[in-house]
């Protein structure tokens, strides 16, 4: 062992600039992503959206060839923050609100399928 510090990234190296989103947005279920979206400010949603949306094609190109059942942990985390981008896109692009006005109270919705990614 050389004793040199080894940089460990939670995302693939090509996406290290997105690391800051992993703690909040690297969630494993749709229910978790939905709850965090509703609890977030529009500034937080805009930050995620404006940072990740321009990289979406690159992210898809990276993830697409990897089978889900053999996806390494760093790629899974990238997938999770990308799913969070999908979760918040409507709020940013259409309604400009983390909690759409006049919408059914999402806390009353029961998710029947809560698959983890």
DSSP state of 65: T
Q: 7: helix, coil or strand?
A: coil
Contact 111, 28 (CB under 8 A): no
Contact 26, 80 (CB under 8 A): yes
pTM: 0.83
More confident residue, 56 or 2: 56
Output the CA torsion 91→27→34→108 (10° steps): 180
Report which of 55, 56, 71 is spatially closest to residue 117, judged by C-alpha positions: 71
Q: Is the pLDDT of residue 22 over 70?
A: yes
pLDDT at 100: 72
């Amino acid at each position: 062992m050389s004793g040199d510090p080894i940089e460990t990234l939670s995302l693939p190296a090509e996406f290290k600039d997105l690391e800051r989103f992993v703690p909040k947005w690297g969630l494993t279920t749709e229910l978790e992503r939905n709850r965090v979206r509703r609890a977030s400010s529009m500034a937080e949603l805009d930050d995620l959206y404006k940072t990740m949306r321009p990289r979406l094609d690159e992210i898809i190109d990276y993830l697409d060839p990897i089978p889900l059942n053999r996806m390494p942990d760093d790629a899974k985390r990238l997938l999770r923050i990308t799913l969070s981008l999908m979760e918040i896109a409507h709020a940013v692009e259409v309604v400009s609100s983390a909690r759409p006005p006049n919408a059914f109270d999402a806390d009353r919705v029961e998710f029947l399928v809560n698959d983890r990614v």
